[in-house]
Chains A and B, each alone.
Chain A
């Protein structure tokens, strides 16, 4: 009988034996009688061939046989084995178990065989290996047989201590015993030696095999666990898929639905949650039992796995199993989807696993997907349990999908935007702000921000709030930043502005400190230490061809407000007072003192423009100075300084206006020349605001004296043409500018003039100008009306309040009467020509019947003037007026009364015009009878 310990040797041996066998048979030696007494004779029936590979065959038994080890349940190991079968195979296991319970008899047979197997597992001794090869019965027989002959034989060699040898020996002994008679002592010795060697070798092999076996066992266990795990995961995966297909609420549903993102539609969510809670309660009760069972099972599994391995996943499983509060709920939710499954495991495990994975790997995406699924599931639930109509359900789902997509988009957007978050450090930001702010700082913040400042001032005055006068951050050195308009409303902007202000101030103060330090150190100690350096612009600048005397020239019109232009006529400057006196005398005494005069060419156009530019610069600085006016009571010295500066500038303005240049110096007078351009006319009101009343009086006198030189008077006839030429347009524009600016600026002077001054001015005008021509112009007519109405006001004041100081003396009144008579005399023959309509009718050959329309409005000032004239006129002058103007009045009244004028407005204008005049005479248009 071969034993697996030495298969090759046994083969050889057996071959030898077989070889000898037939030969020895005739000798009558019972070679083939195994264990003579107890041999049952079944040895022949067994097919012994191929036994040499038994170990291999049986070695695999362990892995194969476990599944079919039905009888094992009785043993303690049985529990271990069956439980080590993964839960995934539970169906199979169940089947097998059913088999066990239903049909016990068939298990009896395998049991006997399996018993030996169990013995193998159980018994770790080397003996346990042996009986497996040949069966337990035989082993016991061997054991029974062998001990008797072996001990004396092997004792001297010491090797006999090994039970293996004692085991092995009977064969050899048996053979040896049979051959003993024929052999010599030497042969026996040799045989024994060989036997000892063999036994040693065998022992070694046995040890190796044992180790191998143990390892194999261990490996098998590990494999088993691996398999369990794999199966577990597969099952979970399957379940997850099923979940998704069936739209079971995935994990994180609760937290997600409670997350602030979903508060956008809290009503829906609340509804859904409510429904879900109800369902959950119902199902939870149903599920309690199931869950408990599952938990129990899981716990057991976990315990066992803990025993077997230290695997972390299994640990988690265990931990989770004992901590089911959250998982239970989810399980409850999930369960109703899985009811058709026979023994479903709570999905909590799978869900938990998924959660872990999702957190570990791509949390965001999975979460989004899960959120999506959860919403869909919610929609599903509501559809299922609340009996919501199919359409509603669909709509709800669509809505949910839309929201999910939206949320995803938003998320994506946010992530894209946030990609560059915190790329810049605070110092980077500060640096950039510094650069930006440095661009904003200017020497003159007000002027640089001029339009915004002015507009802001206008806006503030209109709104009636007087918060800050200027939106400018100022720094001591004169630099500053214009802040533009004040921001209204908004919470972010003002704070941003404040922050900017603070930053700017910090930057500026830092710069100043640095400047001071530099001033302290470098200028005194270090300047020139490295030798002189010439500025690049110094050397590289091309040589100037024109050597302009810089001392005499202002560097630039804008930057030299302090420079005083000295004209040649300023020779007469010292006699300014005298000139003024002379002018006054002229104005009052109708005397033109023309001696002691140097005639000059009138100012050229370019000179006028240059002077005007200078005036504008001056007036801007004057206005700026005016805004900076300190309060007199605050600081005496500062105020005085400011006053000196201001007065100096105003003096310059006065100089530049050239009012004091003698009347006859040139024609037109330089001052009048300055009024030629539109901008010259427009600057006057801005200038006169700063001039004293005495100066204004002088200015007015000069203007009246040179009235005929004005362009608006000279070019007035152009206005009488109806041809729309550029000249006419220009003249119209100039006239408007004159009336709007120049007349406005002299109005306050005239409106406070006394009778004597008015008489004097009228006299001057009559003396120096062709009054008929002047009166045919709008500015002239306006001026005359101004005088007449002022005198009328004085007269009324004298009548109503005789105690006033302004009461004109009788001499003055007589003088005025004289002057007025003179005016009336001069104007009387041209009264009709004063009307633009008459003049237009004269100039245009065929009078346009449609054209009186605009002329009625143009006639209005004339009617006004005539009314004023009528007020001052005596009775005989009234008659003259009526005689001359009778035609005109009748014409107007007729055209109105006869309905020749279709337009209501025109009729009104005509009547109003006529009445204006007639009322002055004490009449009315209604009194006129056709």
Chain B
């Protein structure tokens, strides 16, 4: 099946396919989300549920040599509104 027959005409159609599916969202500020996408709009504002947010923290203060220490903070949210200006990418999670 080619792209045209699957009705994909613009990038947003790909996001549309991921509706109510688990998606991976990369955000500015070293943040990543995985959760179920419920809605989106032209600004890439997203509404997600069952979200796990992963925040990458580079701690440069503790080590003076310049080599930062990576810390990962995670948190879970039941429902989340993501403002579109922070979204870098949206993708379906890799299928194993």
Q: Does B60 contact A (CB under 8 A)?
A: no
Q: Which residues of A contact B6 (CB under 8 A)?
A: 606-607, 610
Find out whether the CB atom of B17 lies under 8 angstroms from the CB atom of A556: no
Q: Does A397 contact B (CB under 8 A)?
A: no
**A890-929, CB < 8 A from B:** none
Question: A682: nearest residue on chain B (CB-CB)?
Answer: B20
Which one, B4, B8, B18, contacts A552 given CB within 8 A? B4
Find out whether the CB atom of A609 lies under 8 angstroms from the CB atom of B21: yes
B54 vs chain A, min Cβ distance (A): 13
Question: B17: nearest residue on chain A (CB-CB)?
Answer: A609
Find out whether the CB atom of B20 lies under 8 angstroms from the CB atom of A677: yes
A555 CA to B7 CA in the complex, in Å? 7
Find out whether the CB atom of A606 lies under 8 angstroms from the CB atom of B7: no
Q: Does B59 contact A (CB under 8 A)?
A: no
Find out whether the CB atom of A560 lies under 8 angstroms from the CB atom of B7: yes
Question: B93: nearest residue on chain A (CB-CB)?
Answer: A726
Q: Does B16 contact A (CB under 8 A)?
A: yes
Which one, A548, A560, A613, A678, contacts B16 given CB within 8 A? A613
**A557-597, CB < 8 A from B:** 557, 560, 565, 567
Question: A556: nearest residue on chain B (CB-CB)?
Answer: B9
Q: Which residues of A contact B21 (CB under 8 A)?
A: 609, 677-679
Q: Which residues of A contact B9 (CB under 8 A)?
A: 553, 555-557
A202 vs chain B, min Cβ distance (A): 111
A607 CA to B14 CA in the complex, in Å? 11
Q: Does A337 contact B (CB under 8 A)?
A: no
Find out whether the CB atom of B17 lies under 8 angstroms from the CB atom of A613: yes
Q: Which residues of B contact A678 (CB under 8 A)?
A: 20-21
**B1-30, CB < 8 A from A:** 1, 4-9, 13, 16-22
A638 CA to B95 CA in the complex, in Å? 49
Find out whether the CB atom of B5 lies under 8 angstroms from the CB atom of A606: no
Question: A557: nearest residue on chain B (CB-CB)?
Answer: B7
A677 CA to B18 CA in the complex, in Å? 10
Binary contact readout A712-732 vs B (1 if CB under 8 angstroms, 0 otherwise): 000000000000000001100
A685 vs chain B, min Cβ distance (A): 15
A549 CA to B2 CA in the complex, in Å? 11
Whether A609 contacts B18 in the complex (CB less than 8 A), given A556-B9, A557-B13, comes out as yes
Q: Does A167 contact B (CB under 8 A)?
A: no
A565 CA to B8 CA in the complex, in Å? 13
Question: A563: nearest residue on chain B (CB-CB)?
Answer: B7
Which one, A549, A605, A609, A677, contacts B4 given CB within 8 A? A549
Find out whether the CB atom of B17 lies under 8 angstroms from the CB atom of A606: yes
B93 vs chain A, min Cβ distance (A): 10
Q: What range describes how many residues of A lie at the interface?
A: 20 to 34
**A66-111, CB < 8 A from B:** none
A605 CA to B17 CA in the complex, in Å? 10
Q: Does A614 contact B (CB under 8 A)?
A: yes
Q: Does A303 contact B (CB under 8 A)?
A: no
Q: Does B86 contact A (CB under 8 A)?
A: no
Task: Kindly name the residue among B5, B7, B18, B21 whose own CB sees the greatest number of chain A CB atoms within 10 A.
Answer: B7
Q: Does A751 contact B (CB under 8 A)?
A: no
A548 CA to B10 CA in the complex, in Å? 13
A735 vs chain B, min Cβ distance (A): 16
Find out whether the CB atom of A610 lies under 8 angstroms from the CB atom of B18: no
Find out whether the CB atom of B20 lies under 8 angstroms from the CB atom of A610: no
Binary contact readout B69-96 vs A (1 if CB under 8 angstroms, 0 otherwise): 0000000000000000000000010010
A593 CA to B21 CA in the complex, in Å? 36
A605 CA to B19 CA in the complex, in Å? 13
A557 vs chain B, min Cβ distance (A): 4
A699 vs chain B, min Cβ distance (A): 22
Q: Which residues of A contact B50 (CB under 8 A)?
A: 729
Q: Does A813 contact B (CB under 8 A)?
A: no
Q: Does A273 contact B (CB under 8 A)?
A: no
Q: Does A665 contact B (CB under 8 A)?
A: no
Q: Does A290 contact B (CB under 8 A)?
A: no
Find out whether the CB atom of B16 lies under 8 angstroms from the CB atom of A553: no
A682 CA to B5 CA in the complex, in Å? 24
Binary contact readout A640-683 vs B (1 if CB under 8 angstroms, 0 otherwise): 00000000000000000000000000000000000001110010
A538 CA to B95 CA in the complex, in Å? 42
Find out whether the CB atom of B92 lies under 8 angstroms from the CB atom of A605: yes
Find out whether the CB atom of A556 lies under 8 angstroms from the CB atom of B20: no
A553 CA to B9 CA in the complex, in Å? 9
Which one, B1, B8, B20, contacts A567 given CB within 8 A? B1
A557 CA to B5 CA in the complex, in Å? 10
Q: Which residues of B contact A555 (CB under 8 A)?
A: 9
Q: Which residues of B contact A729 (CB under 8 A)?
A: 50
Which one, B1, B18, B19, contacts A607 given CB within 8 A? B1
Whether A610 contacts B7 in the complex (CB less than 8 A), given A557-B13, A557-B16, A605-B95, comes out as yes
Task: Kindly name the residue among A677, A679, A730 whose own CB sees the greatest number of chain B CB atoms within 10 A.
Answer: A677
11 contacts between A and B (CB under 8 A): A548-B4, A553-B9, A556-B13, A607-B6, A609-B21, A610-B1, A610-B6, A610-B7, A610-B8, A613-B7, A677-B20
A interface, CB within 8 angstroms of B: 548-549, 552-557, 560, 565, 567, 605-607, 609-610, 613-614, 677-679, 682, 729-730
B interface, CB within 8 angstroms of A: 1, 4-9, 13, 16-22, 50, 92, 95
6 closest pairs, A vs B, by CB? A553-B4, A609-B17, A610-B6, A557-B7, A679-B20, A548-B4
* New A-B contacts (18) at CB < 8 Å, excluding given A553-B9, A613-B16: A552-B4, A553-B4, A553-B5, A553-B7, A555-B9, A556-B7, A556-B13, A557-B7, A557-B16, A560-B7, A567-B1, A605-B92, A607-B1, A609-B21, A610-B6, A614-B7, A677-B20, A729-B50
